[in-house]
Amino acid sequence: YVIVYPEFKLKSKIVYEQFKIVLTKEENDIKYSKNFNNIHDVADILENDLEKVGISICPQIGRIKERLIEAGALGALMTGSGSSVFGLFKSNEHACDALSALQNMGKAFVVHSL
């Protein structure tokens, strides 16, 4: 993974105040794959309902996501209520290669899952 912290904070209170959840639409169904056979299966289900609000407050979050994808991430997503964004890469080598393309977007780190 690569995590990019854009050095600005989104206040969770503001993000949640602006979040409008629709409880009756299918788009809010929980997506779950019983078997994650490969990293692409994980990338396919990345979702954060708060992300649209985060991007509306701070469009740079959307630009960071785009840059992660351009740098080879299989998927990218805002963390929690923001403002960090992570990209899921095929390998540690791919993540390290992408790091230089992300340095001007904020603090960028290569991290590993447990």
Residue 32 covered by a domain: no
Whole-model pTM: value is 0.82
**For the domain that residue 88 is a member of, what is the CATH number?**
3.30.70.890
Taking only the tens place, the pLDDT of each residue in 46-71 is: 888 899 999 999 999 999 999 999 99
Residue 31 covered by a domain: no
Supply the range of the domain harboring residue 92: 2-22+37-110
Distance of CA 83 to the CA centre of its chain: 9
- Token pair, residue 30, equals 């929980």
Taking only the tens place, the pLDDT of each residue in 5-56 is: 998 888 888 898 888 876 555 654 555 555 677 788 777 778 888 999 999 9
Residue 99 covered by a domain: yes
3-state secondary structure of 42: helix
d(CA 71, CA 22): 33
How many domains, in total, are found in the chain?
1
Cα dihedral sign for 56, 107, 40, 31?
Answer: negative
Residue 68 covered by a domain: yes
> How many C-beta atoms lie closer than 10 Å to residue 45's C-beta?
12
> Counting Cβ atoms within 10 Å, is residue 72 exposed (0-12), middle (13-18) or buried (19+)?
middle
- Token pair, residue 54, equals 């985060």
Residue 64 covered by a domain: yes
Residue 106 covered by a domain: yes
d(CA 23, CA 75): 26
> Counting Cβ atoms within 10 Å, is residue 99 exposed (0-12), middle (13-18) or buried (19+)?
middle
